[in-house]
Structure 1
Amino acid sequence: MISDQVGLPAGTGRYRGNLHAHSTISDGRLTPAEVVADFRTHGYQFLCLSEHDVFTDLSSEFDDEDFIVLPGIEASAYLFADDSCDRHARMRCHHMHGILGTDEMVAAAPARFEHMERLEPLVYHGSWDGLSVARALRDELARRGCAVMYNHPIWSRIEPEDILGLDGIFGIEVFNFDTVNEGGDGADTVYWDLLLRRGVAVGGVASDDSHHVTAFDDVFGGWVVVCAESLTRDAVVRALMAGEYYSSSGPEIEGFGVREGVLWVDCSPCERVTMVAGGPIGGNRTVIAPYGDTLEHVEFRLSGHETYVRLECTDASGKTAWTCALR
């Protein structure tokens, strides 16, 4: 039986942020200052500028009491179909965030990234041991004192064997707004649940992967809300690693938890709420609001056979919020 617990701790601040954004330092359209200004204007409190294969630390330039920039990098590994490195021969890839970790992680790290330091992508031709490659990339980021997140697995064309067994990551993208609108391959929870079923403690992350492109909308469509003691890198990353956050493309989650064998959630008005459960077949359940009505509080009686539970709250426009899993 899953024990009584609260998913979003009370008495902390709630801070909205985007963990995946690009600027002119890599392949974004706007300068870092313009990206930061845009997110601040739209009510965000934190942002990770996650440039491709380049670590940036712009905290001293942009941090203040109302907004912080998380130092980070989007690191890469590529499998090419042949000996070329032509982009059309890219068959699979791992894109993984390294977000500078807690104060303790940074102090204990045997090495640190420098601002604007490049981390060369790992490159393979013809075949690879995808899981070993992912672990190697994870280990290098962790060695530099970073918390690690796995990005857009569906867009990356990875196979289950490339990721199942990958622990040591705090989150995996289940909603990537850029690739949702670019090609319809940015939203999927399958790999998340496959990891959870194997006992890997990992959260689901919604993000923009914003480049501020003009061909389609790729900004302000996916975010996380963390419950942190303060608006600092240490507190925000600590909350992310503890799973004390929810992800959303629209709805808000006020609270959720397990109390006396009942999973409950309080949310902004939604059309349906689904409990996703690990364990035997048929453990998932959905509550749908009667026509013309909405849901703001939903409860599910647990059977006692669940190995984990998480919630998806979907509003009338199809936008969803995802909680982290409880065990």
Structure 2
Amino acid sequence: MSFANQTALPAATPRFKGNLHCHTTNSDGHWTPQEAAERFREQGYDFLCLSDHDLYTDYSPQLDRSDFIILPGLEASAVLLDEGASGARLATHHMHGILGTDEMVEAAPERFSHMQELPPIECRGSWDGLAVAQELADTLSRHGCIVTYNHPIWSRVEPADVVGLTGAFGIEVFNYDTHNESGTGYDTVYWDLMLRRGQRISGIAADDNHNHGLFDDAFGGWIVVCAPKLTRNDIVRALLSGAYYSTSGPALDNWGVTDGTVWVECSPCERVNLVAGGYINAGATVIDEGGRGLTHAEFKLRGDETYLRVECVDAQGRTAWSNPLYAE
């Protein structure tokens, strides 16, 4: 196996900051759609997906501006309930359906309309978790949406309920809300299990903000997308191609492979990790020994890696995650 010489992020392409996971007063959030759009725009964001629970909304006609756009979407769900009288939630699948490109919408056999509900799939006692997840993903795809899988650790799903899912372009690897709510915001284990199986799937950092004031849950996880223009079509195409990185703080300026060596350029960080698929001990870490902050790191490949991704971690533990590159 080998990796061609390549630069992971398109050079000389505009970069746009966005949050794909935001709740409003249309479900269990405390900001109206208008307030959410205004506050994210004030914080330097270029796009926002309003992803209310089981309710598709499209506020783009009202809220789009030349410097800020809304991605229409919803957070759809399937839930496993206790078969007893309590009916407590044992596990849940939460997935985003984000409106795809004009071509995808035109080809879709079904379409959502603004303020359309999608009732959750409910199972009691037991379920075939992967089959239920696939049913939900297929439903969203059939409506012309691109699909993400959200916060599996918080959702109490087993790896077997997620690994093998098809039709999702991304999985949340960092969720700011669940991180501050209950320490369940990091999901890279599920991501790497999928990648090791050969699934090609990108990572996503997001807020999942509800803004109820109990703890900070806004402006802590985002993606930076490389796209020629700030339009839904261009942003969605970039998401599907993996032309973005995720972060809770550091900037990933670029990274790539040159003559069998992985190189990374980033804002000052305490460590840079190369995470790789392959045999045990694949991958490596460079640690800042001088206290000045790493802005460049290099890793010589062994030649048996199946995929590569990088993580840049600053002194506060905040992380930037690349999307994977795959061996030829």
TM-score norm. by structure 2 comes to: 0.98
Asked whether 1:32 is paired with 2:40, we answer: no
In structure 2, give the amino acid aligned to 1:70. L
Q: Hey, what's the Cα distance between the residues in 1 that align with 2:103 and 2:197?
A: 28
Q: Hey, what's the Cα distance between the residues in 2 that align with 1:304 and 1:124?
A: 45
Equivalent residue number for residue 186 of structure 2:
187
Deviation sequence 1:201-234 (CA, Å, 0-9, x none): 1111000000112110000000000001110001
Shift of 1:45: 0.2
Equivalent residue number for residue 267 of structure 2:
268
Q: Hey, what's the Cα distance between the residues in 2 that align with 1:119 and 1:296?
A: 46
Conserved in 2, the CA contact under 8 Å of 1:167 and 1:201?
no
Shift of 1:84: 4.9
Q: Hey, what's the Cα distance between the residues in 2 that align with 1:83 and 1:150?
A: 28
Conserved in 2, the CA contact under 8 Å of 1:21 and 1:49?
yes
In structure 2, give the amino acid aligned to 1:119. L
Q: Hey, what's the Cα distance between the residues in 1 that align with 2:170 and 2:283?
A: 22
Where 1:24 maps in the other structure, the secondary structure is coil
Deviation sequence 1:251-281 (CA, Å, 0-9, x none): 0011111111111110000000000000000
In structure 2, give the amino acid aligned to 1:54. L
Q: Hey, what's the Cα distance between the residues in 2 that align with 1:44 and 1:160?
A: 33
Q: Hey, what's the Cα distance between the residues in 2 that align with 1:218 and 1:273?
A: 26
Paired positions, count? 325
How is 1:107-256 mapped onto 2 (pairs within 5 angstroms)?
A: 107-256=106-255
Q: Hey, what's the Cα distance between the residues in 2 that align with 1:293 and 1:198?
A: 38
Shift of 1:83: 5.1
> RMSD between aligned alpha carbons?
0.9
Shift of 1:85: 7.0
Where 2:155 maps in the other structure, the secondary structure is coil
Q: Hey, what's the Cα distance between the residues in 2 that align with 1:239 and 1:305?
A: 28
In structure 2, give the amino acid aligned to 1:77. A
| Runs of 4+ residues over 4 Å off in structure 1 | none
Deviation sequence 1:108-142 (CA, Å, 0-9, x none): 10110000000000000000000000100000000
Conserved in 2, the CA contact under 8 Å of 1:180 and 1:187?
yes
Deviation sequence 1:149-173 (CA, Å, 0-9, x none): 0000000000011011012111100
Equivalent residue number for residue 23 of structure 2:
22
Equivalent residue number for residue 104 of structure 2:
105
Equivalent residue number for residue 51 of structure 2:
50
How is 1:74-85 mapped onto 2 (pairs within 5 angstroms)?
A: 74-82=75-83, 84=85
Equivalent residue number for residue 316 of structure 2:
317
TM-score norm. by structure 1 comes to: 0.98
In structure 1, give the amino acid aligned to 2:22. A
Equivalent residue number for residue 70 of structure 2:
69
In structure 1, give the amino acid aligned to 2:69. I
For structure 1, which runs of at least 5 residues remain unmatched after alignment? none
For structure 2, which runs of at least 5 residues remain unmatched after alignment? none
Q: Hey, what's the Cα distance between the residues in 2 that align with 1:84 and 1:245?
A: 46
Q: Hey, what's the Cα distance between the residues in 2 that align with 1:167 and 1:304?
A: 28
In structure 1, give the amino acid aligned to 2:47. F
Shift of 1:188: 2.4
In structure 2, give the amino acid aligned to 1:43. G
Identity %: 59
In structure 2, give the amino acid aligned to 1:20. H
Shift of 1:2: 1.5
Q: Hey, what's the Cα distance between the residues in 1 that align with 2:24 and 2:205?
A: 19
In structure 2, give the amino acid aligned to 1:60. P
Q: Hey, what's the Cα distance between the residues in 2 that align with 1:15 and 1:269?
A: 21
Q: Hey, what's the Cα distance between the residues in 1 that align with 2:144 and 2:263?
A: 36
How is 1:290-309 mapped onto 2 (pairs within 5 angstroms)?
A: 290-309=289-308
Shift of 1:10: 1.2
